[in-house]
Amino acid sequence: MSKAMEATVSKKSLRDNPLVWPLAGLALVVAFNLVTGPEFFSVSVRDGHLYGNLVDIFSQGARVMLLALGMTLVIATGGVDLSVGAVMAIGGALCATLVTQLGYGLYLALPLTLLMAGALGFFNGAMVVAGRIQPIIATLILMVAGRGVALLITDSDVVKIQDPAFLYLGKGYILGVPFSLWLVAAVFTVMALLIRKTALGLLIEAVGDNEHASRFSGIEAGRLKLIVYAVCGALAGMAGVLDAASVSAADPMRVGELKELDAIFAVVIGGTALTGGRFLLFGSILGAILLQALTLTLYNAGVPAAVAPVPKAIVIVGVCLLQSDRFRKQISNIIKIGGKAS
């Protein structure tokens, strides 16, 4: 009997596994490319490192992946962080200014930058926790101000980066694989370990599920939120540094513009509910990959840039639909009927 139960459990868990749906979306994008241009998948070795669209998906998607990882935690606590794009700009600007203008070594500039970005995230958290301001509004403030701060840091200039160590962050390869990918993998591993090997993940989920009850269960929701917002800020700062490194310049005006939407999109596509509670770090990574694959596909298909948002919308809503029980039931009914008819 217990075996039978196990069987039903595992069967159920496959269908209910939220990772299935971003994967399905990804499969769709892959299928589209297989039909329209299989060269999309060709990966070769050039100058001793891997070269091809598949590599680009990861190296270009690294920034959104970092943002999405932090955003996942924030959303899990029932919040949202709109300021990540602006914090990216600050991160890039600060690190570049420290290295280029003030002559700091990267080993010093990078930790300082991350600290600062973390502090900004902490400020968001403090407004949510202590100020009891709704997260959208609390982080909207930094979203507006952040770009101004970045402009101040660079004196409204684009800072050019020549420091080889700095550039390595964006352009280096280890074992033929882009450094940024290693970085994301490392961040993901550390976070996943911290969250699943300790009880942090569960506590975050509890706070997001029922904050009031979490207080009665002795969870310090405030402190958790502060940590989570700070982490999100620091990761956004790191994403900004990566962005600067990959184009050899920190542009306070345009870096991270609208990236907050991408990050939120990646998180939710990845199966984390916007209402908080259960979250899936790996799902968010998949969501970011889907997003980047979609962008590249649109480039490749030569879809006019102005119209590109339309297919993007269709994918967003499509993946949403796949996640909906009702829709799945309808589809399977249609398939059943079709099966019976034939």
Partner 1 sequence: MSKDATPLLKVSGLCKRFGSVQALSDVSFELRAGEIHSLLGENGAGKSTTIKCITGVHRPESGTVELNGREIAPRSPREAELSGIGTVYQEVNLLPNLSVLENIVLGRVKTGALGRIDWKDARRRAKAALGKLEMDIDLEARLSSLPVAMQQLVALARALEVDSKVLILDEPTASLDEAEVENLFRVMNLLRDKGIGIIFITHFLDQVFRMSDRMTVLRNGRYIVTRDAKGLSKQDLLQDMLGKAFEEMQSRGAALDAIAEDRAGRATQLQVRSLGAPGKIDSLELELREGEVVGLAGLLGSGRTECARLIFGVDKATAGSLELKGKQVKQGVPSESIREGIMLASEDRKAEGIFPHLTVRENMMIALQSRRGALNPVSREEQDAIAEKYIKAMRIKTSGPEAKIKELSGGNQQKVLLARWLAAEPKVLILDEPTRGIDIGARAEIEKLIESLSEDGLSMIMISSEMDEEVRCCHRVLVLRDRKVIGELRGSAITESAIVRKIADHE
Partner 2 sequence: GGGGDSAEKKVKIGFAQVGAESVWRTANTDSMQSEAKKRGVDLKFSSGEGKQENQIRAIRSFVAQGVDLIILSPIVETGWDPVLKEAKRAGIPVLLMDREIETADESLYAAFIGSDFVEEGRLAAQWMVENVKGEKVNIVELEGTPGSAPAIDRQTGFKEVVDEHSRFTIIESQSANFRRSDGKDLMESLLKLHKKIDVVYAHNDDMALGAIQAIEAAGLKPGKDIVIISIDAIKEAFEAVVAGKINCIVECTPLFGPLAFDMAEKILNGEEYERRVVMKDSVFDQSNAAAAIDSRKY
Partner 3 sequence: MKISLRSNPLYATIGVLASLFAVASFSYEGFFSLRVIANLFTDSSFLGVTALGMTVVILSKGIDLSVGSVIGFTTILVAYLVQDAGVSVPVAWGIALVVGVLFGAAMGALIVVYDLPSFLVTLGGLFFAKGMGFVISSSSIGIQNEFYDAVVGIQIQVGPGAYLGAGALAFILFFVFCLYLLKWTRFGRYVYAVGGNEDSARLMGLPVDRVKIGVYAFNGFCSAFAGILTTLYMGSGNPLTGVGMELDAIAAVVIGGTLLTGGIGGATGTLLGVLTFAVIQTILNFDGRFKPAFLRIAIAALLLGFILTQRALARGKE
Residue (153 or 231) nearer to partner 3, CB:
153
Site residues, partner 1 (CB under 8 A): 5, 8-9, 12, 197-200, 202-203, 205-206, 209-210, 212-220, 224, 277-278
254 binds partner 2, rule: CB under 8 A: yes
Residue (51 or 282) nearer to partner 2, CB:
51
Alpha carbons 263 and 65: distance in angstroms, whole number: 8
Beta carbon of residue 209, minimum distance to partner 1 (angstroms, whole number): 4
Mapping DSSP to helix (H, G, I), strand (E, B) and coil, where does residue 27 land?
helix
Bridge partners of 51?
44
**Closest by alpha carbon to 68, among 56, 77, 57, 80?**
80
Region of 10-18, 51-59, 230-238, 278-286 interacting with partner 2 (CB under 8 A): 51-59
Q: What angle do CA 139, 141, 143 make, to 5 degrees?
A: 70
Residue (41 or 327) nearer to partner 2, CB:
41
Mapping DSSP to helix (H, G, I), strand (E, B) and coil, where does residue 184 land?
helix
Residue (52 or 222) nearer to partner 2, CB:
52
Beta carbon of residue 8, minimum distance to partner 3 (angstroms, whole number): 24
Which H or E run includes 254? Answer: none
Beta carbon of residue 141, minimum distance to partner 3 (angstroms, whole number): 5
**Letter for the amino acid at 328?**
R
Among partner 1, partner 3, partner 2, none, the one that 257 touches (CB under a kind-dependent 5 to 8 A) is partner 2
**Closest by alpha carbon to 159, among 114, 109, 120, 119?**
109
Tokens of 134: 């709704």
269 binds partner 2, rule: CB under 8 A: no
Bridging pattern class, strands 49-51 and 44-46: antiparallel
Beta carbon of residue 307, minimum distance to partner 3 (angstroms, whole number): 5
Alpha carbons 253 and 89: distance in angstroms, whole number: 7
Residues 246 and 181 sit within 8 Å (Cβ to Cβ): no
Report H helices in 42-105.
Answer: 53-76, 84-96
Among partner 2, partner 1, partner 3, none, the one that 323 touches (CB under a kind-dependent 5 to 8 A) is partner 3
Among partner 1, partner 2, partner 3, none, the one that 53 touches (CB under a kind-dependent 5 to 8 A) is partner 2
Which residues between 93 and 122 bind partner 2 (CB under 8 A)?
Answer: none
Interface with partner 2: number of residues (CB under 8 A): 33
Among partner 3, partner 1, partner 2, none, the one that 23 touches (CB under a kind-dependent 5 to 8 A) is none
Residues in the chain, total: 342
Given its phi and psi angles, is residue 334 left (phi above 0), alpha (psi -120 to 50 degrees) or beta? alpha
Binding site for partner 2 (CB under 8 A): 37, 39, 46-47, 51-53, 56, 60, 151, 156-158, 160, 171, 243, 246-249, 251, 253-255, 257, 295-296, 299-300, 302, 304-306
